[in-house]
Amino acid sequence: MIDLDIDMRQYDCPFIDTTDDVDIAFSAVQWQLDTDDETLETRLIARGDSVGALENGLHTLRNHSNMTDCYVLSKRGNVAQIGTTIEETNAMRTIQRNGGYITGPFQIENGREHWRVGFDSDEDEDHTLAELERHNEFNVEDRDQFGPAALFDLLDNSSSAMRLLEGCRSLTETERETFRIASQNGYYETPRETTLGELADHFGISKTAVSMNLRRSERKILQGALSVLDDIDDESF
């Protein structure tokens, strides 16, 4: 299996057009492509920069010429869960016609869309990308190729990977940024290439505050990683 991470700009997608005009982002939760009706049904999370942006974005989305149906399932503050039906876009049709398939959720923000697309052969991949170039703008940001054993291992350990992902997502914005800058500047190298004092100067806070932010981020990430290690240990018996 060939798996591509594609950064895409479609010119006939209502979600992309909406994020061009309004400060709103969409993340797919569920999707169903009906090739007979040439439509795509989705359940998405919509997040606006504000309550007003969310309302404006949903209004813009409903009025798009390529939107068949758009309804709110639940809403709280600047976040809503919505259901939609859109007409099949050129990119969807091209991927499906050439034997491709969607392998993961897609996200849309700032006029761009990230897709995970799978193919069973290099030939299918090449034909699809060549056709996509005619009517869409895209970059292939990552490409992985899995054999049956590796793919089975990935699927068999999906729950462990999800726990590690949840640990990373539980970081606050401050914890995430502190951990990222510390890692990039060599704080975890041996010998260390930066110090707590230098990190404190970078963020304009005390060394104690930096240390606490790092410890909290490390603890959350390690908890997720340790749960994965426990699963790996269980598989070895």
DSSP string, 68-79: EEEEEEEEETTE
State the pLDDT at residue 237: 45
Which domains are present in the chain? 2-152 (no CATH), 157-235 (1.10.10.10)
State percent of the chain over pLDDT 90. 53
- Give the chain's radius of gyration (CA, Å): 21
Lowest model confidence (mean pLDDT) among 143-152, 179-188, 191-200: 143-152
State the pLDDT at residue 54: 96
Looking at mean pLDDT, say which of 5-9, 33-37, 219-223 comes out highest.
5-9
pTM of the model: 0.61
Check residue 22 and report its DSSP letter: S
Residues ≥6 apart with Cβ < 8 Å to 168: 220, 221, 224
**Is the pLDDT reported for residue 153 higher than 70?**
no
Cα 116 from Cα 106, distance rounded (Å): 7
Angstrom CA distances, 135 to 172, 202, 220, stand at 40, 45, 44
Cα 19 from Cα 113, distance rounded (Å): 10
**Is the pLDDT reported for residue 234 higher than 70?**
no
**Is the pLDDT reported for residue 189 higher than 60?**
yes
State the pLDDT at residue 63: 94
Q: Quick check: bond before 191 cis, omega within 30?
A: yes
On the CB side of 199, how many CA atoms lie within 13 Å of its CA?
A: 27
